[in-house]
Structure 1
Amino acid sequence: MTVTAVTHQSVVDFLYKEAKILDEWRLLEWADLFTDDGTYMVPPIGHPEASPTESLFYIHDSRSRLQERAERLLKKEAHVEYPHSTTLRNYTNILVDDLDSEVIKVECNFTTYRTKREVIDTFIGKSYYDIVQQGDGLAIKNKKAVLHLDSLRPHGKISLIL
């Protein structure tokens, strides 16, 4: 098996692919972007370095848990997201480090716009990724979305993937 060199552009394209998959509500495909030991986290607002063993995170999912989250959000019984919100997400200021390492570190700003029932929510923050090569492509080992908000408004919850 030959290993393809990872470029800055291939990492950026991978993140854009993730955004497209999420905006199109292809959540099972999104879960497949993660390694078997992957994690997805959203720490409490104002405490980006909090420990999930000592603080209540909005989301702290193992790979199996994020798969379950994806499956649940696609069901009609997930009333908060059925019918699905319309989302549009942007990733900017993408910084890629350690391209030659086993784990590629990525940091980027995100803005996720969501509209549902004539209400527009805006989620802003920074995402931190650990990305690895897997097979002939890239995979997410860890994703942490740090919200840069004062609070969650208007309903105080996160019902979609950031």
Structure 2
Amino acid sequence: MTIANEQITVKDVEQLLFKEADLLDSWKLEEWMQLLTDDATYAIPTTDNNEGDHRNSLYLVADDHHRLTARVKRLSDKWAHAENPRSRTRRFITNVQIKEQTGAELKITANFIVYRMRYGFTDAYVGQYQHTLVVQNGELKIKDRKSLLDLEALRPHSRVSIIL
């Protein structure tokens, strides 16, 4: 479906986020990368500093497109120690809002819960997405992807080895 800049709706944004969730839950990481722009970023700030800048604050993840591509390659390898065996995940996305639109660029937010099942344990990552989306060749693409965790600490999770 081709999208024109002036007709982007919350439903269009929801469909992108739902497709993204499905691809990530299915571990179709290469296909997921196709939803991103060639200069996309992916960031997860620490739980105590959601507003910090990755250039001068500690972040759990602060990937540019090159590092994100390497992350996907590592996670896709069947011998990736952090995800061997792979976690099963299920994502729930709610409260999708377009916060700002300037031309072909949108700032959006959405709440999420990502359940991660592995080794008989279930972890819940709860938070808010803050994305910048752009229209490229009639399609919505993710330019900046930021996952703000509402958790006070990563315990009992202790790490984030999946793409939130």
TM range (shorter): over 0.9
- SS for the counterpart of 1:121 is strand
What is the match of residue 16 of structure 1? 18
CA distance in 2, matches of 1:26, 1:3: 24
What is the match of residue 50 of structure 2? 48
What is the match of residue 7 of structure 1? 9
Identity %: 38
Bigger Cα displacement from structure 2, 24-33 vs 137-146: 24-33
Aligned residues: 161
CA distance in 1, matches of 2:53, 2:27: 29
Runs of 4+ in 1 over 6 A off after TM superposition: none
Which string of whole-angstrom CA distances, capped at 9 and with x for unpartnered residues, describes residues 47-87 of structure 1?
11111121121000111111111110011221221221110
Which string of whole-angstrom CA distances, capped at 9 and with x for unpartnered residues, describes residues 13-54 of structure 1?
011000001000011111221111110000011211111121
Q: Please say if residues 39 and 64 of structure 2, whose CA atoms lie closer than 8 Å, have aligned partners that are also in contact.
A: yes
CA distance in 2, matches of 1:72, 1:134: 28
What is the match of residue 29 of structure 1? 31
Match of 2:98 among 88, 96, 99: 96
Shift of 1:6: 2.1
- SS for the counterpart of 2:51 is coil
- SS for the counterpart of 2:59 is coil
TM-score (norm 2): 0.92
Shift of 1:100: 6.0
| 1:108 counterpart letter in structure 2 | A
Which string of whole-angstrom CA distances, capped at 9 and with x for unpartnered residues, describes residues 92-114 of structure 1?
11111335632111101110000
The 1:45–1:26 alpha-carbon spacing in structure 2 relative to 1, beyond 3 Å, is: same
What is the match of residue 147 of structure 1? 149
| 1:9 counterpart letter in structure 2 | K
Residues 120-159 of structure 1 correspond to what in structure 2 (within 5 A)?
120-159=122-161
CA distance in 1, matches of 2:34, 2:66: 11
| 1:144 counterpart letter in structure 2 | K
CA distance in 2, matches of 1:102, 1:47: 30
| 1:62 counterpart letter in structure 2 | D
TM-score (norm 1): 0.93
Q: RMSD of the TM alignment (CA)? A: 1.5
| 1:40 counterpart letter in structure 2 | Y
Q: Please say if residues 125 and 145 of structure 1, whose CA atoms lie closer than 8 Å, have aligned partners that are also in contact.
A: yes
What is the match of residue 67 of structure 2? 65
Q: Please say if residues 123 and 157 of structure 2, whose CA atoms lie closer than 8 Å, have aligned partners that are also in contact.
A: no
